[in-house]
Amino acid sequence: MTDLPPYLRPFVLPVADAGEVRVERVGQVDLYHPAGTARTGAILFVHGGPGPAGLEVSPRDWPVYQGYATAAAQRGLVAAVVEHGLIRGLDQLVAAADDVEAAVGVLRADPRVDPGRVALWFFSGAGLLAGEWLDSRPDWLRCLLLTYPLLATPPGVDELVNAAEVIGRYDQGGGAASSDLPVLLTRVGRERAELAGPVAEFVSAGGAALDIIDVPKGQHGFDMLDHTEESRAAVTKALDWAIAHLGEDPTATSTSTSTLPIPTPTTTTTSPVSPVSSPVAKATTTVTKTPPAPKAPAVETISTAPDLTAVVATAFSFDTPATRVVDREHATYAAHDLEAFLALYSPTAQLQFADGTVLRGRRSLREHYRPLFEAGRCKTELQQRMMLGEWVVEQSVHHDSDQGPVPTIVLYRVQDGLIVEVRFLA
């Protein structure tokens, strides 16, 4: 084991028997699903950085983060590990913050996740990303965890929100309405000096608002370097703490508004029907998706769509990685969660409307869709779905206040867990 680089050493908890945990890669996020079908709380694990020189294995493939996520899923939570830009250097801090925000959207849009019960868990250098979440404290954020964090931005690096300054605003005496965000710090006794000072400042500022797990003999990275009973107990306590704070809200009811509507694909069709020539069938699923009236971006030519005549001979398939991504896109649209919706698209995604106009990239999508999300004018009835390679082809009826019901064919191309292209056909 000592011949391995530190980041490839085993996780301190035994999680090898993970037979019922299903792992799915969605863009920059790996999702770990527990057995069963009930909606549950979720944890996003945010790795540290920068990475060592010559790094060949991405952090979400490191045993330590796979171990944390597997352990959480084995205990009934959905877990996720995000790959973010900080691994490439501190000059990527702002990009990394965007990566984490997008990952939150992917996780909260997952059909197995209660989007109102999410925890964020930051490690090492990712502590620099925690301050913004401590400051904003969204309603869905049930708790925040920091393990051997870096909390002071090194000289010459653009600073985000300072975690010590933020947590000080919400001390017990502050009276802030959102001051009850539970925060857990796991600190090690053999921490590096440049990290230990800011951690002490954070503890002093946090006061009674902080819960702390001490690992007196532990070093930075103890959860992969120090295979001791002390290390295992500390990790187990932290998991216990997160699970306790992600428990069901005793005041919640079955009609909670935090639940995302999840579209269920139709399974009643017994033979393929050409989506071009067939009449619109009776709706079997309702989602809120409408092809919006395009703005005036430049007209471009994008890649050739699949030959729809070939779809006629394609067997129906309703549970593939591509359809699960499209289902999440529908669910986030239905919930009017713009950032979660955009997180399911590639940064260079392109949408082509029936008149040939094109939107390209998340920025254009955000500008175009924001007023539609705010207005809530859209409704779509999904009729049927077909697959052709990496394309998901859907027949639906779009309801618009100006045009009335419009039968439409929409083609989604999915690659590596993200939507890279959408075409709306007349």
Q: What is the pLDDT of residues 105-129, one digit of tens each?
A: 999 999 999 999 999 999 999 999 9
Most confident residue range from 43-47, 251-255, 317-321: 43-47
- Residue 45 pLDDT more than 80? yes
CATH 3.20.20.70 assigned to 285-425 = no
- The chain-wide mean pLDDT, for the chain, equals 79
Give the residue carrying structure tokens 């053999």: 190
- Residue 319 pLDDT more than 80? no
**For residues 224 and 372, which has the higher predicted lDDT (pLDDT)?**
224
Least confident range of 385-389, 400-404, 415-419: 400-404
Average of pLDDT values for 329-351? 81
- Residue 215 pLDDT more than 50? yes
pLDDT at position 112, please?
Answer: 93
- Residue 255 pLDDT more than 70? no
Measure the CA dihedral 308/314/320/324, to 10°.
40
- For residues 122 and 117, give the distance between their C-alpha atoms in angstroms, rounded to a whole number: 17
Q: What is the pLDDT of residues 231-240, one digit of tens each?
A: 999 999 999 9
- Residue 364 pLDDT more than 70? yes
* DSSP three-state, residue 53: coil
pLDDT at position 331, please?
Answer: 81
CB atoms within 10 A of CB 285: 20
Distance of CA 422 to CAs 356, 412, 415, Å?
A: 12, 5, 12
- Residue 242 pLDDT more than 60? yes
**For residues 289 and 222, which has the higher predicted lDDT (pLDDT)?**
222
pLDDT at position 226, please?
Answer: 96
Comma-separated ranges of CATH 3.10.450.50 domains in the chain:
285-425
Comma-separated ranges of CATH 3.40.50.1820 domains in the chain:
6-245
pLDDT at position 337, please?
Answer: 80
Kindly state the greatest CA–CA separation across the chain: 70
- Residue 301 pLDDT more than 80? no
pLDDT at position 83, please?
Answer: 93
β-sheet with 113-123: strand ranges across:
22-26, 29-33, 78-82, 40-46, 113-123, 141-147, 183-190, 210-219
Average of pLDDT values for 409-425? 89
Give the residue carrying structure tokens 């699960």: 324
Beta bridge partners of 421: 350, 413
Average of pLDDT values for 68-88? 94
pLDDT at position 284, please?
Answer: 35
pLDDT at position 240, please?
Answer: 92
* Long-range interactions of 243-249: CB distance < 8 A, separation 24+: 243/41, 243/72, 243/75, 243/76, 243/77, 245/119, 245/142, 245/143, 245/182, 246/40, 246/41, 246/42, 246/43, 246/77, 246/117, 246/118, 246/119, 246/142, 246/143, 247/41, 248/117, 249/116, 249/117
Task: Please name the residues in contact with 50: beta carbons below 8 A apart, sequence gap of 6 or more.
Answer: 86, 87, 88, 89, 90, 125
pLDDT at position 18, please?
Answer: 61
Tell me the pLDDT band of 1, cut-offs 50, 70 and 90. Answer: low
What helix, strand, coil percent values describe the chain, rounded to 5? Answer: 35, 25, 40
- Residue 371 pLDDT more than 60? yes
Q: Is the pTM of this model over 0.75?
A: no
Average of pLDDT values for 407-413? 91
Tell me the pLDDT band of 318, cut-offs 50, 70 and 90. Answer: low
Superfamily in which the 6-245 domain is placed by CATH: Alpha/Beta hydrolase fold, catalytic domain (3.40.50.1820)
- Residue 304 pLDDT more than 70? no
- For residues 359 and 350, give the distance between their C-alpha atoms in angstroms, rounded to a whole number: 5
Average of pLDDT values for 140-166? 89
β-sheet with 358-360: strand ranges across:
285-287, 379-388, 391-400, 404-415, 418-425, 345-352, 358-360
pLDDT at position 19, please?
Answer: 67
Tell me the pLDDT band of 63, cut-offs 50, 70 and 90. Answer: very high
pLDDT at position 306, please?
Answer: 52
Picking from 18, 107, 6, the residue whose alpha carbon sits closest to that of residue 68 is: 18
